[in-house]
Amino acid sequence: MSEIQPLSPEMIRRYLDEDEAEYDVDEDDNFVFEYDHDEECDCELTVWLSIDEGDTYALEVANEKSFPRSEWDRFLEICNEWNRNERYPIAYLDTDDETPDQIEIRLDYYVYLPSGATQKQISDLTEEFIENSFDFWKWAHREHGL
């Protein structure tokens, strides 16, 4: 399928099915899947893929790790260093109302595609985003001990 099509959840589903991924669709219509623990980055990643407002491909990654909020400044510097040197994913800090004394590092990338995309573009974007997300955590583990 090399023709440009309007963005749709079906494009994400096709990518995941072709990749033989095990995934769920959550209550917000996000496609969600997890990776087993990776020794190189010492982490387990969860990925969310969705179409936002009909014209934006939203890709997000979370790690199972959380960190003390007292380390906010250190982790902010780590995220800023990554964002200064890499195009995507964007790294940022996030908090949860249920655990206000903890922070998480999140990664995301939102691609505005009002004219649509080809299936290959969606597949390539997804693969590269996931690969770069692992690269972030490998770098953070190697360089910063996360």
Share of the chain above pLDDT 70, in %: 99
Q: What is the C-alpha separation between 104 and 117, in angstroms, rounded?
A: 32
Q: What is the C-alpha separation between 117 and 55, in angstroms, rounded?
A: 10
pTM of the model: 0.93
Q: What is the pLDDT of residue 138?
A: 96
Which of 132, 112, 117, 130 has its CA nearest to residue 8? 117
* Average pLDDT value for residue range 139-144: 96
Q: What is the pLDDT of residue 2?
A: 77
Is residue 1 scored above 90 in pLDDT?
A: no
Average pLDDT over all residues of the chain: 95
DSSP 8-state symbol, 5: B
pLDDT in tens, 22-70: 999 999 999 999 999 999 988 999 999 999 999 999 999 999 899 999 9
Q: What is the C-alpha separation between 15 and 31, in angstroms, rounded?
A: 11
* Average pLDDT value for residue range 109-137: 97
Question: Helices in 19-146 by DSSP H: which ranges?
Answer: 72-85, 119-144
Share of the chain above pLDDT 90, in %: 89
124 with 115: CB under 8 angstroms?
A: no
Which of 12, 92, 17 has its CA nearest to residue 49? 12
Is residue 77 scored above 80 in pLDDT?
A: yes
